[in-house]
Amino acid sequence: MRASVQEAIAALPTPFKEAVTKIVSAPKFDATISAQDYAELLEKAGLSDAEARVALLPIAAAYSVAPISKFYVGAIARGESGRLYLGANMEYEGVQLNQSVHAEQSAISHAWLKGESQLKDITINYSPCGHCRQFMNELKGAESLQVQLPDREAKLLHTYLPEAFGPSDLGIDQPLLAPVNHGLTVQEDDELIKAAVDATNRSHAPYTRNLSGVAVRDNQGNVHMGMYAENAAFNPSMPPLQVALNLMNLADVSLAEIQEVVLVETANANNSHLQDTQAMLEALNPDIPLSYLAI
């Protein structure tokens, strides 16, 4: 467990601290909390649902990697299954600011990668920026998504985003998080390439049709997948490398532990992630090998 998470736990009030420690220090903890563990946590701590989610935010924010702003944002997305998914902002030195990942995007892509197909609510330690409000409007069930901030009552996303622009304005009815399999295949035995193709098959790219996915191998041999997530307003889209690096960070693997990366995308599409992926990896560590497959 990283020091920032230990510090966040240490600062929690008792008896919440004991109950959280039991969950977070379990060897299998993966920055999510099951519905069952969460129900027990509520009972032990004697907190309401909203109070407990807000009280957990410092744990989520402790995953933040923000060397530029030093502004630590935490978010907790709850899936239809009742599981809570932590998320935090990530900034990258040496590349454009628009490569950053916001805490809301982090928690949502975390839930997506681990198989949630709809969210009930999201809890955030700061009011969501316009970019995140737009990102959330891409989600399946966006019209019923509740946004919970500290010291406020929960409000629907659309209260924060009135007169919303969204996928339907572009004639798209395939929302982000709806399970998909684009069915692309390659004749490959390489585990990392297969993982990147799997990610590509789960990607959300209704606007460019540039289906894309990334797989990152860390120096322990673990593989972290990232699916491309497009947005109707284009700019809030999440590139596949960022989705994978965010998942890696939430799995407690640092950016210094990347060993190898594979990027897969649709051949002859009207955009490409290749140059941005190369630039990001170059900024992190020029020695990281990148394999590229256009299929």
Ligand X SMILES: O=c1ccn([C@H]2C[C@H](O)[C@@H](CO)O2)c(=O)[nH]1
* Residue 265, helix vs strand vs coil: strand
The answer to whether 1 is a known ligand-binding residue is: no
Dist. CA 264–CA 71, nearest whole Å: 33
Residue numbers 107-166 binding ligand X by CB under 6 A: 128-129, 132
Dist. CA 130–CA 125, nearest whole Å: 15
The answer to whether 182 is a known ligand-binding residue is: no
Applying CB under 6 A, among 56, 103, 122, 233 the residue interacting with ligand X is: 103
Cβ at position 96, least distance to ligand X in Å: 13
Task: Kindly name the residue from 93, 104, 188, 191 that is annotated as catalytic.
Answer: 104
Please give the single-letter amino acid code of residue 77. A
Return the beta strands (E) in the chain as ranges.
32-33, 74-79, 84-88, 119-124, 146-148, 155-156, 212-218, 223-227, 258-265, 290-294
104 is catalytic: yes
- Of the pair 77, 195, the CB lying nearest ligand X is at 77
x/- map, 17-56, ligand X, by CB under 6 A: ----------------------------------------
Applying CB under 5 A, among 53, 102, 204, 273 the residue interacting with Zn ion is: 102
Place of tokens 């590139």: 239
Dist. CA 74–CA 120, nearest whole Å: 17
231 binds ligand X (CB under 6 A): no
255 binds ligand X (CB under 6 A): no
The answer to whether 43 is a known ligand-binding residue is: no
The answer to whether 132 is a known ligand-binding residue is: yes
Please give the single-letter amino acid code of residue 153. E
237 binds ligand X (CB under 6 A): no
Dist. CA 194–CA 220, nearest whole Å: 18
The answer to whether 238 is a known ligand-binding residue is: no
Residues 6+ apart with CB under 8 A from 266: 184, 200, 205, 209, 210, 211, 212, 294, 295
214 binds Zn ion (CB under 5 A): no
Stretch binding ligand X (CB under 6 A), from 13-21, 37-45, 64-72, 165-173: 64-72
Task: List the binding residues for Zn(2+).
Answer: 102, 129, 132
Residues known to be catalytic: 104
